[in-house]
Amino acid sequence: MQEWANQLCENRQFGSKMTDSKYFTTTKKGEIFELKAELNSDKKEKKKEAVKKVIASMTVGKDVSALFPDVVNCMQTDNLELKKLVYLYLMNYAKSQPDMAIMAVNTFVKDCEDLNPLIRALAVRTMGCIRVDKITEYLCEPLRKCLKDEDPYVRKTAAVCVAKLHDINAQLVEDQGFLDTLKDLISDSNPMVVANAVAALSEIAESHPNSNLLDLNPQTINKLLTALNECTEWGQIFILDCLANYSPRDDRESQSICERVTPRLSHANSAVVLSAVKVLMKFMEMLPKDLDYYGTLLKKLAPPLVTLLSAEPELQYVALRNINLIVQRRPEILKHEMKVFFVKYNDPIYVKLEKLDIMIRLASQANIAQVLAELKEYATEVDVDFVRKAVRAIGRCAIKVEQSAERCVSTLLDLIQTKVNYVVQEAIVVIKDIFRKYPNKYESVIATLCEHLESLDEPEARAAMIWIVGEYAERIDNADELLESFLEGFHDESTQVQLQLLTAIVKLFLKKPTETQELVQQVLSLATQDSDNPDLRDRGYIYWRLLSTDPVAAKEVVLAEKPLISEETDLIEPTLLEELICHIGTLASVYHKPPSAFVEGSRGVQHKRLTSSAGSGESVESPDTGSAAVSEAPPTVIPSQGDLLGDLLNLDLTPPTSTGPPPTTAPGMQLGAMDLLGGGLDSLIGDESEPPPIPLRTDTPQSPQPPHQSPSPPHYSPTELGGDIGGSPAMGTGFGAPPAAMPASFNAPISGGLDDLFDLGGGGGLTMGTYIPPKSVWLPAMKAKGLEISGTFVRRSGVIQMEMTLNNKAMSVMSDFAIQFNRNSFGLAPAGPLQILTPISPNQSIEAALPLSTVGPVMKMEPLNNLQVAVKNNIDVFYFSCQYPISMLFLEDGKMERQVFLATWKDIPNENESQFQIKDCHLNSDAASNKLQGSNIFTIAKRTVEGQDMLYQSMKLTNGIWVLAELRVQAGNPNYTISLKCRAPEVSQCVFQNYETVLKN
Amino acid sequence: MIGGLFIYNHKGEVLISRVYRDDIGRNAVDAFRVSVIHARHQVRSPVSNIARTSFFHVKRSNVWLAAATRQNVNACMVFEFLYKMCDVMTAYFGKISEENVKNNFVLIYELLDEILDFGYPQNSEPGALKTFITQQGVKSQSKEEQSQITSQVTGQIGWRREGIKYRRNELFLDVMESVNLLMSPQGQVLSAHVSGRVVMKSYLSGMPECKFGMNDKIVIDKQGKAGSNDDGAKSGKQSIAIDDCTFHQCVRLSKFDSERSISFIPPDGDYELMRYRTTKDIILPFRVIPLVREVGRTKLEVKVVIKSNFKASLLAQKIEVMIPTPLNTSGVQLICMKGKAKYKASENAIVWKVKRMAGMKESQISAEIELLPTNDKKKWARPPISMNFEVPFAPSGLKVRYLKVFEPKLNYSDHDVIKWVRYIGKSGIYETRC
């Protein structure tokens, strides 16, 4: 048998040699006509040859659509090969010739009834690929039959066809009930049918994010797990990818699923392995960590991941990108496997770079010697990118593992001795970071660095070197000469270098004032007078003024102690990491971007998240699961950069000027000479001079450093450093905060409690506190790179306040908050800057109260009480909208005179009256009246008619609009009726809602 | 899922183009050609995103295979599929070359229609495919044949068809290992591992049930515990610790997971039963001792000693040592004790070949390399010395203990099957830094 098959194949090969390839070479003119003739030939062989030629032309991109009728005519044939060729043609051109494509329908329908299951399947498969609306109608009946075909081969093909049809006409699929049939196929006896049905359903479900299409419950899961053992490798992938979307009910269920998935880790197909890893990584979150099984599972994960590295290089690349994520989420899995990530000489460059990344993540005190030895090897290789990355890696090791710092520095010095230009430059950039991390420890190397000054031609390296010279000017005898040498070509330097040079010379001047007066004059005039760059000019002016006004203060500012830099860099932001873990194996995990970033349309927009076991609160925890890699100090997360700087500079977040002059109260600063610059810059400086670094603060790259500091965060791309420095003066605008004047506004819960107490008493005559809605989440952390804002509105003794809780759920410190409102219906605007004095550490939350005024710009919003807010911090600007209760705007003097009330009531036309029902309210009229008064809704009169209490009430909005109300309360009837009259009837709806919330709370 | 699949020749001309999804247009074909195949610089990633379309590519000789998609597909699956497609094509018409692809383009379209439906990979076992897709069009089948085909393609045992008969039941088992080493110049093992494969050729009738056993430490230890203590200690010495293994889809994974036994119904003909990896107690067949001395700026002295480290009765074959030389080498003088050595300027290396070498021997080569003086400041990177060889044993120490065959329906027993076992150890990446 076997031999026969081989022989057959060989014969075929022989026979076809020098035949088929010739179709690729015919390029003469008039070809179409010739083909037409051949297609209509009587001879079968000639016909077939002609169709082959057509397909070949199609492949190379020639337009052969003109032959459509002739090709379709060949469809009626017993020759399956010819039939398949015609189908191939049809799939390509049907769309451009929809009317003619109809001609083919009959054949399809006939073929769907054929005795041969292969032909039935072929017909239904092809029909699904002909994406013409008119054809889909004819497809429904054959498809329905095929979904219930006796032959599994036809059923599995039909299952995929449902997904095809859904892609063309989703409504049709739903109307025809195909989705239910597809769901039934999950219980099919044939594993491959199950797998294809799962794949089709998963795809359809993606475009209906909220449908319960893939109704995963323990029974279906069980069916899937059974099919998993029996179907093809591809089917196993579909099933595992689908399983990963399931959320087990409890830890026991997730353990039992894990147990049934782990055997897949030994599959020869890497995709099966990675998809199994995804399921395990996800379901592990549910397992309690003290469970024995949890430990067993962790151990089981390492070997298959390592094995992936012996696959083909392309697969290695995908595996490494995923391991990078896994290592960040659960460093313990691979902590002993450092050696397998050592780079091989013949690895493709993309594998090398990825391995290097993982090596640094796994570096710890235990293995640092080995790692360093390797990195030193790599630094002598050929590929420039790789060498640079290796040099950076040495620097990162120094910062990460303190014990190794000394060895790293000496390794870097060795590398500098090689005099390879890009190695030297890269080394200097990382040494600067090492200086930041270990101040006053390795300054002995400065002399060596200075020797290489001339060879530096990259801005980043030049800037780093200048920073070093400025920072350690007192120890470098010829610092002035060195800096002066840079000054000669000042205008040819990049902005990054110019800014750095300016700062360095000012530092030098403050350290050695006597010899460098001239130099500092020179640089200040270069920066302020001869430069077009506003950032540079601004920074120059600030220094100038500082120096001329108060050199002592200048010293304090410019030579202030710098915050330390953190040790982990390039970490993926935790919410993104969680999402990516749910996408292990997919493109998202390769790009390290959420699917929404590269997939268009509705697909992939859903954000997946890990679900952790109830009560363990693990997902909130940083991934510090007992590893040395992530220490207790929260690592800085560098968010994706994008055009952050642009955003910050364009969006003016200065608090409105109507709130009075910005506070200028920074300790140790006298800013007397500000009038020179006029009001605008005036406030800028005032705000800029924030209090000296607060201990809590760590250096995050986007934090607007006061311009005197030269920030050198441990990350490397020139755009980042540029953004950092360049952005600082402008970014600081308006974020300084007066340390005094913290309004005592945190008594909300207490007054709420009192409210309740009074409520119980049901007492009359007492004025009650304002109703304060509970805080709700306005800005979820997912949308704001880890910043969660929840809040509410309060009116207390005539002042409206926005009370917020800012919760930092990211891994980096957040600082420099500012807030601004969009124009809104009642002109609400912040009455002062947002007062958040200290940066918020990860997992910390801070309460803030923002007094509001009602004199801001007005624009009608829908709904009326909608408020759009922009909040900025050092990371980005975020937008959200919230709704305030309209009672915030009711004035304390809203009680109308009785007579006036009567007159006004009559005066307002009846069409302005609106009536509402308030249901299920169990207060008596007195209690209601009291409660409402707390919200500045005043009862003017009360009348009782036939056991029904009528309350006449008034309220006055901040913009002077009066609202009159008649509230009818019948004893024993929980439903109130309210009539509202107002000259501006638009507010009625809001007022009614407010009644409802106040009365029911 | 995969939106389109293209095959190009080295010039970037399209040989095969099959589009499965609407979001992939004809311009995608050109986009990949322009941005990747015609790109001047080296390819920096096997996945590239061009105008929101992601391309996955692999290269086989001078042919590019690319899959395109605009969705968040399972990237690992796409690559696995591309490899599988290469396997299928190789099984049909041999080497993947421009010529062969052109000659078989109709067949390839037919295959693509079958193994990829709407971008979802379907059964792609060449054994199964060959029953109904042949290069001479479809042969006419009887009704039984048809249903047999469909049940096989979709069935639980998609890799084997029913009714296979051989006069002589025979099977060949090759344990093929490649031993990888990275050694420091001082002789310290930086990393070493064996990646092994068990490759089988089986010519067995019916639907035989097979069971494969080897000296896996976990199994032996388990049996040792069950049997007498003496046995356990004795066999424990010869057992090996397997770090990880993966299996052909015919192996029942859940059974391996629970009992660690390897049982399966084999495909017919050639297949790879399992792959494994070991890192402990590896026999390194050769040790390379390099000595490089720079004599001034224009001369380099290199001495390399190789020592064979296995039983003296065994013979290693096809030994090849590659000693890299600097780019500015002008001339090389060579003296070697055994074999032939040659300086190959095109490869920037001295290639020293020895046909055979017995165990526990050593041999050496010395070279004087003359260099042209250059102004290049960049130091020579000193690539590692690499080595190739073949030895008739398994460097991991793996031994086949048994391979039992049961076919209850046909009347042949395990004893009637003729079994051949062979061990081949080869060098993988076997490098010593100098």
pLDDT of residue B176 exceeding 60: yes
| Across A86-108, average pLDDT | 83
**Chain B neighbors of A315, CB-CB under 8 A:** 76, 79-80
Task: Please indicate whether, in this complex, the C-beta atoms of A237 and B135 are within 8 angstroms of each other.
Answer: no
**The predicted structure's pLDDT at residue A481:** 86
Q: Which residue of A has its CA nearest to B19?
A: A92
B404 is in an annotated binding site: no
Q: To the nearest whole angstrom, how far is the Cα of A271 from the nearest Cα of chain B?
A: 5
- What value does the mean pLDDT take over residues A727-745? 36
* Cross-chain CB nearest to A163 (options B13, B42, B118): B118
CA-based nearest distance B312→chain A, Å: 31
pLDDT of residue A1: 43
Chain-chain contact of B105 with A59 (C-beta, under 8 angstroms): yes
Q: Is residue A643 pLDDT above 50, yes or no? A: no
Q: Which of A61, A129, A203 sits opposite B14 (nearest CB)?
A: A61
Tell me if chain A has a CB within 8 Å of the CB of B283.
no
A372-388 pLDDT, tens digit each:
989 988 988 888 899 99
- Residue-level pLDDT at A617: 39
Q: Which helix (H) or strand (E) holds A228?
A: helix A218-230
Name which of A527, A547, A548 is nearest A537 in CA terms: A527
A738: left (phi over 0), alpha (psi -120 to 50) or beta: beta
The kind and range of the H/E element at B273 are strand B269-278
Which pLDDT band holds residue A766 (cuts at 50, 70, 90)? very low
- In order, the DSSP letters of B115-145 are HEETTEE----HHHHTTT--TT-PPP--HHH
pLDDT at A688: 38
Give just the sign of the alpha carbon dihedral A718, A721, A727, A731: positive
For residue B139, the model assigns a pLDDT of 54
Whether cis (ω within 30° of 0) applies to the bond prior to A863 is yes
Chain B residue numbers with beta carbons less than 8 Å from the beta carbon of A317 are: 45-47
Task: Encode pLDDT of A862-909 as tens digits.
Answer: 888 888 888 888 888 888 888 888 888 888 888 888 878 888 888 888
User: Which residues on chain A are in Cβ contact (under 8 Å) with B83?
Assistant: 312
For residue B237, what pLDDT is reported? 56
Distance CA A235, CA A40 (A): 43
Tell me if B257 and A151 make a contact (CB, 8 A cut-off): no
How near does any CA of chain A get to the CA of B332, in Å?
Answer: 24
A83 to chain B, minimum CA–CA distance in Å? 10
pLDDT digits (tens, 9 = 90+) for B374-416: 776 566 778 899 999 999 999 999 999 999 999 888 878 888 8
Contacts of B6 in chain A (CB under 8 A): none
Q: Does the distance separating the beta carbons of B146 and A234 come in below 8 Å?
A: no
Q: How far apart are CA A627 and CA A331, in angstroms?
A: 6
Whether residue A672 is predicted with pLDDT greater than 50 in this model: the reply is: no
Confidence bin at A24 (pLDDT 50/70/90): low
Q: What is the pLDDT of residues A45-64, one digit of tens each?
A: 888 888 888 888 888 878 88
pLDDT greater than 50 at residue A652 = no
ipTM of this predicted complex?
0.82
Which residues contact residue A32 at a Cβ distance below 8 angstroms, ignoring those fewer than 6 apart? Answer: A64, A66, A67
> Is B46's CB within 8 Å of A314's CB?
yes
Which of B15, B69, B77, B434 is most worth mutating to test chain A (most A CB atoms within 10 A of its CB)? Answer: B77
Average pLDDT score, chain B: 88
pLDDT at A706 (0 to 100): 40
Residues 6+ apart with CB under 8 A from B363: B305, B306, B336, B337, B338, B339, B354, B357
Taking a C-beta distance cutoff of 8 angstroms, is the pair B380, B268 a contact?
A: no
A664 confidence band (pLDDT: 50, 70, 90): very low
Q: Does B105 touch chain A (CB under 8 A)?
A: yes
A530: burial class by Cβ within 10 Å (0-12, 13-18, 19+)? exposed
- B284-334 pLDDT, tens per residue? 999 999 998 888 888 889 999 999 999 999 999 999 999 999 888 899 999
Residues of A in contact with B79 (CB under 8 A): 270-271, 312, 314-315, 318
Of B73, B82, B245, the CB nearest to A266: B245
Q: What is the predicted pLDDT for the residue at A715?
A: 39
SS3 B369: strand
A526 against A215, higher pLDDT: A526
Report the distance separating Cα A770 and Cα A755, nearest Å.
Answer: 8
The partner residue sitting opposite B150, judged by closest CB among A52, A152, A304, is A152
Q: Across the interface, which of B49, B106, B381 has its CB nearest the CB of A598?
A: B49
Which of residues A907 and B158 earns the better pLDDT score? Answer: A907
Q: How far apart are CA A771 and CA A794, in angstroms?
A: 8
Is pLDDT of A530 > 50? yes
The answer, yes or no, to whether residue A767 has pLDDT greater than 60, is: no
Distance, in Å, from the CA atom of A495 to the CA atom of A729, rounded to the nearest integer, reads 14
Greater pLDDT, A392 or A905: A392
Predicted confidence at residue A701, as pLDDT, reads 38
B340 belongs to an annotated ligand binding site:
yes
Residue A174: in which H helix or E strand, if any?
helix A170-175
Asked if residue B361 belongs to a known ligand binding site, the reply is no
CB contact under 8 A, A56 and B269: no
In the numeric block, which tokens belong to residue B129?
Answer: 């495919």
Give the least confident one: A465-469, A752-756, A829-833, A885-889.
A752-756
**Nearest residue in chain B measured CA to CA from A378:** B381
Instruction: Find the closest chain B residue to A15 by CA distance.
Output: B136
Cβ-based contacts under 8 A for chains A and B: 309
Which of chain B's residues have a Cβ under 8 Å away from the Cβ of A263? 253-254, 256-257
Q: Report whether pLDDT(B72) > 90.
A: yes
Cross-chain Cβ contact A350/B110 below 8 Å: no
Question: Shortest Cα distance from B424 to chain A (angstroms)?
Answer: 19
Residue A364 tokens, joined: 């710890």
Strands B170-183 and B418-432: parallel
Percent of chain A with pLDDT strictly greater than 90: 23
Q: What rounded mean pLDDT belongs to chain A?
A: 78
Question: Which residues, listed in sequence order, are joined to residue A789 by a DSSP beta bridge?
Answer: A779, A806
Query: To the nearest whole angstrom, how far is the Cα of A595 from the nearest Cα of chain B?
Result: 6
Q: Which residue of chain A has the CA closest to B204?
A: A2
Q: Cβ of B104 under 8 Å from any chain A Cβ?
A: yes
Could B79 and A591 be called an inter-chain contact, meaning their C-beta atoms sit closer than 8 Å?
A: no
Interface contact B73-A587, CB threshold 8 A: yes
Q: How far is B127 from chain A (nearest CA, A)?
A: 10
Task: Identify all chain A residues contacting B377, using CB atoms and an 8 Å cutoff.
Answer: 419-421
B87 touches chain A (CB under 8 A): no
CA-to-CA dists, residue A41 to A35, A36, A75, A86, A331, angstroms = 10, 9, 14, 15, 69
Q: What single letter denotes the amino acid at residue B77?
A: M
Nearest residue on chain B to A382, alpha-carbon basis:
B381
Residues of B in contact with A193 (CB under 8 A): 154
Rounding to the nearest 10 degrees, give the CA dihedral for residues A131, A133, A136, A138: -130
Structure confidence at residue A645 as a pLDDT band (50, 70, 90): very low
User: Looking at the predicted structure, is the pLDDT value of residue B196 above 90?
Assistant: yes
Q: Among A234, A246, A169, which residue's Cα sits nearest to residue A207?
A: A169
* pLDDT at B162 exceeding the cut of 50: yes
pLDDT, residue A612, reads 62
Q: Stretch A451-466: mean pLDDT, rounded?
A: 88
Q: Are A963 and A982 in contact (CB under 8 A)?
A: yes
3-state SS assignment for residue A736? coil
Pick the residue from chain A with its C-alpha nearest to B92: A9
Subunit contact A55:B109, Cβ cutoff 8 A: yes
Residue B121 has pLDDT above 70, yes or no: yes
Out of B76, B123, B269, closest to residue A270 by CB: B76
**Which among B46, B117, B130 has CB closest to A350?**
B46
A328-342, A407-421, A912-926, B281-295: segment of lowest average pLDDT:
A912-926
Q: Looking at per-residue confidence, does B361 or B227 come out higher?
A: B361
Asked which of A843-852, B14-23, B30-39, B233-242 is least confident by mean pLDDT, the reply is B233-242
Residue of B nearest to A346 (CA): B429
Which two tokens mark A838?
């200290």
User: Once rounded to an integer, what is the mean pLDDT over residues B356-365?
Assistant: 94
Residue B211 counted as an annotated binding residue: no
* Most A CBs within 10 Å, among B36, B60, B81, B106, to test the A interface: B106
| Span A729-753, average pLDDT | 37
- Compare all CA atoms of chain B with the CA of A381 and give the residue at the minimum distance: B381
Task: Name the minimum distance, in Å, from the CA of B201 to any CA of chain A.
Answer: 12
Kindly report, residue by residue over A819-854, the tens digit of the pLDDT: 888 888 888 888 888 888 778 887 788 888 888 888
For residue B379, give the nearest of A339, A418, A599 by CB distance: A418
Q: Is B247 on the interface with A (CB under 8 A)?
A: yes
Q: Write the pLDDT tens digit of every residue in A275-294.
A: 999 999 999 988 888 889 99
| Whether A21 and B103 lie within 8 Å, measured CB to CB | yes
Residue B390 in 3-state DSSP? strand
**Which of these ranges, A575-589, B187-201, B373-387, has the smallest mean pLDDT?**
B373-387
The annotation status of B102 as a binding-site residue, yes or no, is no
What amino acid is encoded at A833 in this protein? P
More confident residue, B382 or B211: B211
Q: Do B244 and A304 touch (CB under 8 A)?
A: yes
